[in-house]
Each structure stands twice: as structure tokens, then as C-alpha cells.
Amino acid sequence: MYLIAILGNLLIILAVSSDSHLHTPMYFFLSHLSLADICFISTTVPKMIVDIQTHSRVISHGDCLTQMSFLIIFGCMDGMLLTAMAYDRFVAICHPLHYPAIMHPRLCCFLVLVSFFISLLDSQLHNLIVLQLTCFKDAKIFNFFCDPSQLLRLACSGTLTNNIVMYFVGAISGFLPISGIFFSYYKIVSSILRVPSSGGKYRAFSTCGSHLSVVCLFYGTGIGVYLGSTLFPSPRKDVVASIMYAIVSPMLNPFIYSLRNRDIKRALWREKWKCCYVCAYKGMR
């Protein structure tokens, strides 16, 4: 699953970077989403593979905080990039004539940088909260990575205030992207409903299908983990939901976009034939 996720996302990045037809804002954000997915899944799975091989699940306090930091950075960046992609679809459908002027390359780069800095701030806030807790010794985490909610349960000191602050920070970092996505799609749906022909409605909404699928997969499993761990604590269910959003979601994203997107499929086919021509040319020489 890890290799499939890495190779699939690398193919998306290769297709977008090498094909001039894909040098548009939507695919610019998609390539950065693929890069964030590669980093996101790489924060958890390699350590889990080592644990399986060594039959040991021990991790130091510093390594645990480091893993948690990178997990939050790239997880939050996924959400922010999905919001930027929703805004891109909103401008493309609701303001098509002004799309080139609004979605300027400088704005796209600015949105990616803002996504990174907000994710970094969110990560450091979580770290500061966890550092206030009593250090853990011989503690067991019922998950395959250092999850903030799991660490709070294991603290020896009182954590009511820290719990409130952490879930408030998590709600803000999750609520802002979700509210941006909902607002964008509210405007998109309103605009599509005004289209007279059913064919026009289908063409307009088909451009959002892949993005909506990724949003539902990522946020559905992520919210399920945190709400489930708060309302109905169950270590086994938490692990299953964590696998869904930490491993399965980054693995499926390239398939969702490549299978539902003609431009990506054409770019991948062009790259395949280029490789075939190069190999044939070298063989002839």
C-alpha cells in the first residue's frame, strides 16, 4: 500500500510537471496535494514497517513529538490544499470569464505558502500543548503513530485545559478548511442549478467529482477518528479509522484523480509512449 501510494502520487507529479497542457491552477494544486500525501504517509508507514520487522513498538519521546509534528503539518496542508482546489473550482464555474485574471500564478503560489505556514503553526501549537504534559515512561499508545488525542489520555497531570485548547485548535484548523469548501460548493451548486440544459449541468459538475470524492474520504475518516475518540472511545475503531485517513486516503487519491480525469490519463499515456520511444531508440542503437 505504501509503495502504491508513493508511485501513484509521483506519477501525478510527473504528469503535471512534464505536460504543458496541465500547467493550470487546478493541476498545480493537485501536484502539491500529491507531494503532501507522499510526506503524510511517509511519517507513519516506514516506522510501522520497522516495528513489524523488529517486533517492537518502542518510540522515544522526542521521536514521538517529531512524528506528530510532521503528521499534523502534512495532514493540515492536505486540508488547506483541498480548500484551495475548491476555491479554484468555484472561480472556474461561477466566474469563468475572470478565471485567468483571478487565478494568477502568483495567487496560486501564495495560497500554497499560506497553507504551509498555517499547517506549521497548527503543528507547533499542538507540540506546545503536549510539551506541557508530564513526560511518559513505558506508556502504550493504541495506535500505529503518535496521535495527539492518544497522548493526552496518557498524561499523568491534569489535562482538562490542555484538552480544551487542543480540541479548540483542532476544530479551528479543521473548521476553516471545511467551511471554505462548503461555501465554495454552495456557490457552485447555486450556479449550476441556473444552467438551463442538463448536459451543461453535468459537464460543470463533472469537473468537481474527483475533488468531492477526495474531500469526503479525507475529512470523513479524519473527523470520524477525533469525534469517535471523544464520544465513543474504542482503541480498535480508532486504529481502523486512522488507517483509512493516514494510509488508504493518500493511496487512493491518485487513482481517484487519474481514473476520473481525462487530462491526467492523456498525460500519463503520453509519458508512457515517450518512454517506449526512448527505450526503442536505445535498443536500435
Q: What percent of the chain has pLDDT over 70?
A: 72
Tell me the mean pLDDT in the region 137-148: 70
Sign of the alpha-carbon torsion through 198, 203, 209, 212: negative
Q: Which pairs from 159-164 meet CB under 8 Å and 24+ separation?
A: 159/133, 162/129, 162/132, 162/133
Query: Which tens digits make up the pLDDT trace of 238-261?
Result: 677 677 778 888 888 888 877 666
Neighbours of 118 (CB within 10 A): 19
Enumerate the domain spans of the chain.
Answer: 2-284
Q: Output DSSP code: residue 147.
A: -
More reliable by pLDDT, 199 or 13: 13
| Domain spanning 2-284, CATH architecture | Up-down Bundle (1.20)
Which range among 73-77, 230-234, 237-241 shows the weakest confidence by mean pLDDT?
Answer: 230-234
Which residues, in sequence order, are CB contacts of 147 under 8 Å at separation 6+? 68, 141, 225, 238, 242
Tell me the mean pLDDT in the region 213-219: 82
Report the pLDDT value the prediction gives residue 117, as an integer from 0 to 100. Answer: 92
162 within 8 A of 132, measured Cβ to Cβ: yes
Neighbours of 24 (CB within 10 A): 19
Q: Locate 205 and state its grid cell.
A: 459538475
User: Which CA distances in Å does 272 have to 15, 22, 30?
Assistant: 10, 16, 20
Report the pLDDT value the prediction gives residue 39, as an integer from 0 to 100. Answer: 93
Report the pLDDT value the prediction gives residue 203, as an integer from 0 to 100. Answer: 72
Neighbours of 110 (CB within 10 A): 12
Query: Which tens digits make up the pLDDT trace of 165-208?
Result: 666 766 777 788 888 899 998 988 888 888 777 776 777 677 77
Distance CA 255, CA 242 (A): 20
Residues comprising the chain, all counted: 285
Which residues, in sequence order, are CB contacts of 18 under 8 Å at separation 6+? 267, 271
